[in-house]
Chain A
Amino acid sequence: MELIRDASMMSHAAQIGDTFETARQALPGRTEDGLESAEDELVDLPDEVQKAQEAFKQLLQGATGASVDLRIVQYFRYVNDEQVEGWSSELASDAEAVQISQTIAINSAYGAYLDIRQWIAQVEPAP
């Protein structure tokens, strides 16, 4: 298995930094002195997202030859167009940003339920 190279995804990836910056202004985050906000904390990745992230890292290593780590710098969760969780840190200006999304969409004749989780991570060399 290898990473999918798709033009629509590539053009999308170029905008992750912009998304981060827009969301950062709306989300509670770390305070200026570096202490984490007490209101909303970054929660652990769900198991399936954790597994997907590990798989991605392995494929990325296969593609680039470099061993990397992903450090989450932003997280938000939207349920039915309402933000229910959010947390933001800083994204280094020269960092490469990665978007991780998890969407649960339940659709019915009566209406839909949408649960969207999104993380933005910063690519860093593996320790």
Chain B
Amino acid sequence: MSDPVRIQEVLPYQLASGEARTLEVFYTDPTRVPRGRTPVILVHGIWGDMRIWQSGAPEPLPVPENGLHRGPPFRIPRTVQVDAPWEHPTGLWETLEQAGFPTLSWKQNDASGGLPGETDRELAAVIAFALQTYGSHTVYLVAHSRGGVVCRAYLMDPHAAANVRALVTIGTPHWGSRLPAIPGQMEAWIVQALFGLLGLPGHVLAWFATSLITRMINDFTARQLADFDMLAWREPPNPRLQAVMAQSSHQHIHYVAIAGVYPHVRDARIYHYELSSYLPQGWPPQFLWEETTYPAPDQPAMKIPLSLSKIADRLNITAWQAMPEWYAESAIRPEGGDGVVSHRSAWFADEERNPAHGYIKNYKFAWGHSLLTRQPEVQQTILAELMACENL
């Protein structure tokens, strides 16, 4: 099938509170795929959307702004996470459809809240719709990042698990994620910087600064991150996360874990400012600063001797400086996991507890977290696994 046609449908579902909600599902036209095929449901990750499964032209990388500029750098030093251009413009969705798999996905209403939040209820609605639409008894679940935990939460119910033949997770943080720790790190830095700037004893500011900054951060990211404390990386993993993993393991389900083992920072854009960037140069006065993408491993991220800039720096680059060892370019992690976002994403709780379980397969690829789904070798691996399940 070279030109897949997808249909859009509004599905009703209920929150735990009983409140009625709807979601928009997009699915392959049943007349365009062979009858009797098991449908595939694509579940995106945190703060994500269906684009991670779709084809499209590579997004151009931002043009570096190197050299002299008429004004001083308004933008405070920061890194910006960008999607690097993927090598293959075909999305996994289209790859699966071309192989004859009816495939569904939806933009989650609850893609950022606690885990599993209400997303597993959305998943339940989509699975029920898929079974009815394609006349199948089971589905395959393919999930990216947090989507894998959502699927696991759905599978904790043994009756629901009967609907699922395989679960493929891509970069799912089976041993937690460092992401929830970032706001806490930011808070500590800001308080520290405020002490230094105002020259006041730490304890005077401690209460005020902490409460104010907590409120500030809550307004942005922590409100969403704090909810999924369950996913916060711990050694050993959070008992609740372990429980989800253990209770969602079923002998009849074929589990495949795909891990990106490359640090996420590879996708970053770095701004280089120096103290003199804020000083006009030459005639007429101009300012010099530069930015780069894909810094060399030994290249310093930035050099800002000003205390005020350091605060902004901390606020913006956050994770990189919080956990340099997790972002080090050289740190390819053989155990699977891309550092900050997804720790040991090629790992299942049961695997370690009972290595004799033969139904878990792990794959590792040298890509960062957000790039995995667009790599042809990852897509072909998923396709091969599903075709084997389908006895094709």
Residues of A at under 8 Å CB distance from B?
Answer: 4, 6, 8-9, 11-12, 15, 18-19, 22-23, 26, 76, 78, 81, 83, 99, 101, 103, 105, 107, 112, 114, 116, 118
Contacts and interface: CB of A to CB of B under 8 A. Distances in A.
Contact of A81 (B72, B276, B283, B284): B284
Contacts of B277: 8
B77 to A, nearest CB: 13
B281 A19 contact: yes
Contacts of A19: 281-283
Interface in B283-314: 283-285, 303, 305
A76 B303 CA distance: 29
Interface size class of B (residues with CB under 8 A): 10 to 19
A22 B283 contact: yes
A30 to B, nearest CB: 18
Nearest to B75: A107
Contacts, number: 55
Contacts of B274: 6, 8-9
Nearest to A114: B71
A78 B71 contact: no
B275 A23 contact: no
A118 B71 contact: no
Contacts of B282: 15, 18-19, 22
Interface of B is mostly: loop
Contacts of A76: 285
B338 to A, nearest CB: 33
A9 B275 contact: yes
A16 B283 CA distance: 10
Contacts of A103: 72, 278, 280
B357 interface: no
B283 A101 contact: no
A64 to B, nearest CB: 21
B279 A9 contact: yes
Contact of B74 (A12, A26, A105, A116): A105
Nearest to A74: B283
Chain A CB within 10 A, most for which of B70, B71, B275, B305: B71
Contacts of A112: 71, 74
A114 B72 contact: yes
Contacts of A78: 284-285
Interface in B68-83: 70-72, 74
Complex A-B, nearest 10 residue pairs according to Cβ-Cβ distance, in ascending order: A8-B274, A8-B276, A22-B283, A23-B283, A12-B276, A107-B74, A6-B275, A9-B276, A114-B71, A116-B285
